[in-house]
Amino acid sequence: MIVIAVYWLFLFILLLPLGILAKHVLQLPTQNAVITLLLGIVLLTCGFTLTAFFFKLGAVNLVCWSALSLASGIYFKGEVKQLLTNFGTSLKRLPTYSKTAIAILTVGALFKSAQYPFITDNESYYIQTIKWLNQYGFVKGLANLHVFFAQNSAWHILQAGVNFSFVTNRINDINGFVFLICTVFCVSESEILTQKTRYWLGFVPVFSLLLFLFLDVPSPDLPLLVIVPIIVHLFVTEDSNNSNFKIALLLFIFLVSIKLTILPLGILFVPGLFRKGNIKFALLTGIPIATLWIAKNTIISGYPLYPIAYFKTDFDWAIPNNLFNAIISGTADYGYYRDGSLPAGISMTGKLLLWLQQRDLARIVNIATLLVLGILPFTGILKNKKYRLVYVALLVNFIAVLLTSPQFRYFIYITLCGSLLVIAAVYNYFRAKPVYFKFLAIAGTLAAFVSFVNVGLSDLTRNKLHQEVAQPAVSQIYLPERTTKLPNLNYLKKTTGNLDYYSPEYNFFRYGTADGPLPCVNTNQLEYFEKKLGILPQLRGETLTEGFYSAKIK
């Protein structure tokens, strides 16, 4: 916890001046410290992405960006002081129960971030993606080695740039920091806007248990969960200089570079683009971020719009069509049906019926999403035309995911955002007393601590890797655990063709690699694709820096 707290303090000090620099470049006159920190995250992520084309994301890279941050802090020292003053004042003005909730969440988030990671994707590609960035930057055709590396999210690029990999392998904890600052923003803004009715952002702490599940890994789902409500809030709150709209648009573009599934939410911004200057701002920010995203996808997978199939390049490192189709269709089918392959020739109607019958946690989230989207039109909140557009955007986004790859984690931010609106509407309809809101806020924060206890998760998931949670330990107070839940896993060095690689000695699942030395890929995965698709990954040259391609097996 102590190490994580120092790390988060470093992130705050690093990001605030960079955020001020970004807001001056983009002419966004915000005086909110959290929004400024988010702008700093956008700038730093773009910077790291650009750097990764030429260099590894190591010590030199971090020192250079820290120097820019320091120079910006000195140049804008007056603004830094003012933002810190504003931040402190906003915290002091919070009522006692809100301060208590934030204090509890801070301690809980620090402890959660110090534990072993929970989410299985961390063991298949989060760790390894970040490790490749730390040691090599972007590598041509890396997706041929492990197809999940094709995702290479901007969130992992950001984490790779600030994880101090040159010092330790125990820090991949940016999620906890972003969760905390976004929660502080939501609570603070809610207190400002709450007058006769309770503003919906204030109910974010109620969902702390859900959010805590994403804190101990650099999951790209977390920024969507905590930033989408902020985007909606900025969108529906007018300001005289249009900066709220522009900040919301920039954060949305940033989230698209993290996870493409959020793209349909962009319907929100279509009417506002016709205002003076907004198209220019959208192009000024969107084109550079899109260019970096396309270039990164091209290098890693050969598909500029990955995971969209169009415009595949002819580079020798482009992943073959059969591998691309296998992983995309497999991921989509898994969203509809988790107990094997879909029946041959099944219609979309049949797929949707199977989706409704999903089991475990997926069924809970699926049903909850349908209920939330079904209830929202009857809450009265849609009398406001901006909230009507919010609802349409959430609904279209959900339908788009439902018809393509409906894994619940791909639309859980829709569920969360819609739930906040529904709960607030119900609370305000019954004119509930303030004491009930205080109870909900404190109860929600305390519920997050359930994530520390092994409560028999087998009833919610059949994934054995998700059926146990990390156990608290005294050592976690001063030293975080390693970035993998399998720290003692051994690796065997193997060879196939011209590729020497490391494979887990224990095959905990086909795509599992955990924290193995580079290049790391599971032998079971190689054998599976060799048998099914007739391909094997091979080096393009004599060194790893030259990348990989998929060789056909005769």
**Residue at 408: amino acid letter:** F
Q: What is the pLDDT of residue 455?
A: 58
Domain ranges of the chain: 491-552
Question: What is the pLDDT, as a whole number, of residue 360?
Answer: 81
Q: In terms of pTM, does the model score above 0.75?
A: yes
According to the model, what pLDDT value does residue 468 have? 61
> Which residues touch 142 (CB under 8 Å, ≥6 apart)?
132, 149, 150, 152, 300, 301, 547, 548
| Mean pLDDT confidence for 308-317 | 94
Number of H helices, E strands in the chain: 21, 4
pLDDT on residue 458: 47
Q: What is the pLDDT of residues 112-143, one digit of tens each?
A: 999 989 898 999 999 999 999 999 999 999 99
pLDDT of residue 374: 96
Residues 6 or more apart from 374 whose CB is under 8 A from it?
none
Q: Is the peptide bond before 117 cis (omega within 30 degrees of 0)?
A: no
Band (207; pLDDT cuts 50, 70, 90)? very high
For the chain, the maximum distance between any two Cα atoms, rounded to a whole number of angstroms, is 73
Beta carbons of 533 and 492 less than 8 angstroms apart? no
Q: What is the DSSP letter of 520?
A: B
Which residue shows structure tokens 């949707």? 352
Q: Which residue has the higher pLDDT, 221 or 554?
A: 221
- Mean pLDDT, to the nearest integer, of 404-418? 93
CA–CA separation, 265 vs 391, rounded Å?
Answer: 10
Q: Which residue has the higher pLDDT, 294 or 339?
A: 294
Q: What is the mean pLDDT of residues 539-545?
A: 95
Residue 293, both tokens: 């995203």
Distance set, CA 218 to CA 163, 185, 428 (Å): 10, 21, 36
Mean pLDDT of 435-456: 86
Phi, psi of 273 (to 5 degrees): -65, -20
Percent of the chain with pLDDT over 90: 80
Q: Residue holding tokens 């988060």? A: 8
Q: What is the pLDDT of residues 456-510, one digit of tens each?
A: 554 555 555 555 666 788 889 999 999 999 999 999 999 999 999 999 999 988 9
pLDDT tens for each residue of 234-278? 999 987 778 999 999 999 999 999 999 999 999 999 999 988 889
Closest CA to 436 of 203, 108, 90, 204: 203
Q: Read off the pLDDT band of 196 (50, 70, 90).
A: confident
Residue 295's alpha-carbon distances to 169, 304, 373, in angstroms, are 28, 7, 36
| Per-residue pLDDT at 452 | 83
Q: Determine which of 18-27, 187-196, 364-373, 513-522 has the lowest per-residue pLDDT on average.
A: 187-196
Average confidence score pLDDT of the chain: 93
84-104 pLDDT per residue, tens: 999 999 999 999 999 999 999
